[in-house]
Structure formats: C-alpha cells, structure tokens
Amino acid sequence: MVGGGQLARMTHEAGIPLGIKFKLLSDTPQDSAAQVVSEVVIGDHRDLDTLRDFARGCDVITFDHEHVPTEHLRALEADGIPVRPGPDALVHAQDKGVMRAKLDEIGVPSPRHRIVKDPADAAAFAREVSGAQRLDEGRWPGDGRAGGFPVILKTVRGGYDGKGVWFVRSEEEARDPFLAGVPVLAEEKVDFVRELAANIVRSPHGQAVAYPVVESRQVDGVCDTVIAPAPDLDPELAGQAQQLALRVAKELGVVGHLAVELFETTDGRILVNELAMRPHNSGHWTQDGAVTSQFANHVRAVLDLPLGDPRPRAKWTVMCNVLGGDYPDMYAAYLHCMARDPQLKIHMYGKDVKPGRKVGHVNTYGDDLDDVLERARHAAGYLRGTIVE
C-alpha cells in the first residue's frame, strides 16, 4: 500500500485475519500505518525509482491517497505490476477537471462548472451561472445576486478536507486560487439540504457491493459526523445514489473502494460533488456497523476475492471524528469514555495530538438515533477535551 496514513493502518488491520502480507511505502517512520506494519519502506511516492523498488515482489499495489503521479502508475503497469485502482480510473480522483469532464460525458449529474483562467474569467462564469439559474427558475437573468457571486473555486489537483477550495463572493476574492499556478475549476454554489455519500466496492471481475447511503456532516470543511443510513432519505433517492455510484465505478473501471460524495438539493435531486478511490471517512462507520467493513472489502477487491456482505448490523450507526485539541492525555479520557459507554468503539490513529488534526474516530450503534448520536458526540468531545464531564 502506498501511503502511511490512518487509511493504510486500518486496511492493514483488515488484512490480518486473512494472513495478508502487507508492505507499506511511507513518508516517515512516524506515520500512522508505519507504526504497526512490519515491512515498511521509507520513501517519496513521487519518485519513480522509489516506487519501482518498492513494487518489486508485490502481488498488487493499492493506495491510501490519490497523490501518486499518474505517469508513474502507468510505468508500474508496464513493468507488470497490478495497480488497483489503475491509473485510468484513479486520474478521475486526482484531477477534478478530468472528473467533471468524464461525468458530463457519461451523463452523471454534477454542479454547473468550467475551468477558468483568471479572476475575471471566474467572474464571467459567476454571471453565466447566475443567469442560467434565474432562467431555470423562470426569472429574468438580472434579478438577484450582484455580479452572479458567490461561486466555488477549486484547484483541480491536491485538495482535500477543505484545502484547495474557496468560497468566493467577488472578483477580488477570486485571486488567491490562481496563486498556486495550477488550473482552477469554478463551480456553482449549490443550494443543498445536506451532504450524502454512496460507498461501493468493485472487484476486477466486476462484482460490486453497495453500502447504505449515509449523511455526512461537515464542520469548517472537515467531516465531523456520519450517520448510517442517512435519516429520512427517500428510499427511491437512496437507490438512485447507489445505482449512480455503481455506474460511475463501472464506467471508470474502478477496482477497490469508491466513495461518491453527493449533494441532496433543495429540489430533491442528487449531484456528485467529489470522488475518492480508496477507503473513505464516510465509510469508517462500517468497521463496527456493517457485516463487512469498507477496509475488508477493499482488501478483498484488490486481491480479486469474493466481496463480503455490506449490510448494516444495527438500525443506526454514527461515526464522529476525533480532532486534536489541548488534551493529549488519551488514557485518562479512555477511562471515562469506556466506563460511560461499554458499547463504544474507539479507533485512534497513533498521531501526535495537534489542534484540529484528525487523530481518531468513534463509532456507536443502536436502535435510537438520538441516543446513538449523543453517545458518539460525547465520546468524541471528551477525547478532544471540549467536554469534561
């Protein structure tokens, strides 16, 4: 597995019962997965020679991030190393411009969008989108927002957890995204009720499974809470989301786990926001809430083994991320959380505690959603130090 973060750590854990020999390419020995995997190579995933040396002796290569250069993955394939997901699929998670173009081609609904070259071009896009929205709503294009803003600007590569994404209200505010010197994607600001995620896993021979569609709640651009299944989601819309994710995986040739992040709009539609081709934060609930976790199914998929049952074990499962705060004494926090809730599942990543950093997550489950939510939020807050009783 290329990448030494918490996703690699938990994927390794899922492979242990199967006796899978796990080899890791990590940036540093302190990375989350490097602390627990026995065979660790320290190196730069951007260096082709390092990748080639690492890949020797591996039956298959997979990832806990999307940052390996596409051309390097093609070189590994040319060397005869199975890469899953392959470069032709993974590029759609690496490059938002490529993703949007492909989704348009296959007819998957997305926010209105365009690659823009400078702040003035972003302002022109804002006016175009504003006019189109007014016409869709049966109003004159001149009504409403001055200049068409706000819009969303994204660097096409490298963004995650709110990084590389700007909510801009004017041409002046649109300057910062262009400073990085990479292409910028402009998207309309979508009026949405909530964010959803459809998680599926697909194997090389085309077997695929779909997990229940979940609600994902964000705080400051970072996933805070995931509720499985999404409360009060129309069953027909949930089915559409699962079918959409399965179709995207097939059309793009995805092997392994695919997370399709979605907007549920105010007018009852779903639009694709982002794609991730690896285990994903919106699927962490499956560790304790599904018959087969996203991590176990990702391992099965990349090894072309039969996939496991994705069905939930309980009526409700809630995942809350634990962010670092000013409270590094996790052992003392464990005493409280475990005594208060013996059913609580705590997953910590072995990271140094820093304010705002994802250092772990908790899972709770049960039949009463309010109770399950309260238990998860209390535990995550206590582990962070924002709740002290």
Which domain CATH number covers 311?
3.30.470.20
Mark which of 167, 188, 209 sits at the end of a domain: 188
pLDDT beyond 70 at 145? no
- Per residue in 249-271, pLDDT (tens digit) is 999 999 999 999 999 999 999 99
pLDDT beyond 90 at 327? no
pLDDT mean over 123-128 = 93
> Binding site: what residues are annotated?
96, 154, 187-190, 195, 273-274
pLDDT given for residue 160 in this prediction: 62
The tokens describing 314, both together, are 């309980």
pLDDT given for residue 143 in this prediction: 41
pLDDT given for residue 48 in this prediction: 98
Asked whether residue 30 is assigned to any structural domain, the reply reads yes
**Does the predicted model carry a pTM greater than 0.85?**
yes
pLDDT beyond 50 at 141? no
Mark which of 133, 156, 188 sits at the end of a domain: 188
pLDDT beyond 50 at 135? no
Domain shared by 49 and 163, yes or no? no
What share of the chain has pLDDT > 70, as a percent?
Answer: 94
User: Where residue 147 falls among pLDDT bands split at 50, 70, 90?
Assistant: low
Count of helix runs (H) and strand runs (E) in the chain: 11, 15
The candidate with the shortest Cα–Cα distance to 272, out of 113, 64, 103, is 103
Domain shared by 173 and 199, yes or no? no
Asked whether residue 88 is assigned to any structural domain, the reply reads no
pLDDT given for residue 161 in this prediction: 59
Please give the residue range of the domain that contains residue 34: 6-83
The torsion angles phi and psi of 129, rounded to 5 degrees, stand at -65, -40
Asked whether residue 99 is assigned to any structural domain, the reply reads no
> Binding site for ATP: what residues are annotated?
96, 154, 187-190, 195, 273-274
pLDDT given for residue 182 in this prediction: 86
Domain shared by 169 and 204, yes or no? no
Asked whether residue 91 is assigned to any structural domain, the reply reads no
Work out how many domains the chain is built from and give that number.
Answer: 3
CATH of the domain at 64: 3.40.50.20
pLDDT given for residue 159 in this prediction: 64
Domain shared by 224 and 291, yes or no? yes
Domain shared by 260 and 155, yes or no? no
Asked whether residue 102 is assigned to any structural domain, the reply reads no
**Cα Rg of the chain (Å, integer):** 21
pLDDT beyond 80 at 108? yes
pLDDT given for residue 23 in this prediction: 98
pLDDT beyond 50 at 389? yes
- Per residue in 224-250, pLDDT (tens digit) is 999 999 999 999 999 999 999 999 999
- Per residue in 18-30, pLDDT (tens digit) is 999 999 999 999 9
**Over 217-266, what HEC string results?**
EEECCEEEEEEECCCCCCHHHHHHHHHHHHHHHHHHCCCEEEEEEEEEEC
Phi/psi-derived region of residue 65, left when phi > 0, alpha when psi is between -120 and 50, beta in every other case: beta
CA atoms of 350 and 274, how far apart (whole Å): 28
pLDDT beyond 60 at 132? no
pLDDT given for residue 139 in this prediction: 40
Domain shared by 56 and 12, yes or no? yes
pLDDT given for residue 158 in this prediction: 75
Domain shared by 178 and 214, yes or no? no
